[in-house]
């Protein structure tokens, strides 16, 4: 079974631009979560989607948004990029959305904002 895939793997943008990252979950998984990883802040939860509905959102500004499609694929968008948005963005999928569900992480998208 194929794992979680994220595209693109690397991305370079300039301040003020916007970016869209894509995540394809493991087949059959209905929940997708997004995380931001930086050296200073570590891993921080962005949001979680289940069956096309956002179930929860972390403490990030409104510039960060996401969505999930009917095939469970998910995208996250960051508008008006800032230098501080440079990070590894990780996507994780799980079969359902529950307290005991195992999350399977993708390799991440490395975003660099210049």
Q: Does 62 bind another protein (CB under 8 A)?
A: no
- List, in sequence order, every residue forming a beta bridge with 77; answer none if it has no partner: 20, 65
* CA distance linking residue 66 with residue 58, whole number of Å: 12
Q: Does 97 bind another protein (CB under 8 A)?
A: yes
- To 10 degrees, the CA torsion angle through 1, 66, 18, 84? -90
How many residues lie near another protein (CB under 8 A)?
26
61 contacts: CB under 8 Å, gap ≥ 6: none
| Single residue of 68, 108, 111, 113 touching another protein by CB under 8 A | 108
Q: How far is the CB of 18 from another protein (least distance, A)?
A: 24
The residue ranges that bind another protein (CB under 8 A) are: 4, 33, 35, 42-45, 48, 54-58, 90, 92, 97-100, 102-108
């Amino acid at each position: 079974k194929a794992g979680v895939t994220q595209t693109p793997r690397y991305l370079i943008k300039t301040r003020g631009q916007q970016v869209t990252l894509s995540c394809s979950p493991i087949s059959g998984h209905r929940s997708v979560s997004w995380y931001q990883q930086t050296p200073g802040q570590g891993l921080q939860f962005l949001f979680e989607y289940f069956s096309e509905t956002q179930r929860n959102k972390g403490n990030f500004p409104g510039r960060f948004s996401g969505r999930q499609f009917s095939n469970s694929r998910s995208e996250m968008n960051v508008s008006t990029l800032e230098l501080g948005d440079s990070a590894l963005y990780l996507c994780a999928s799980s079969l359902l959305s529950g307290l005991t569900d195992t999350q399977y992480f993708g390799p991440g998208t490395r975003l660099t904002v210049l």
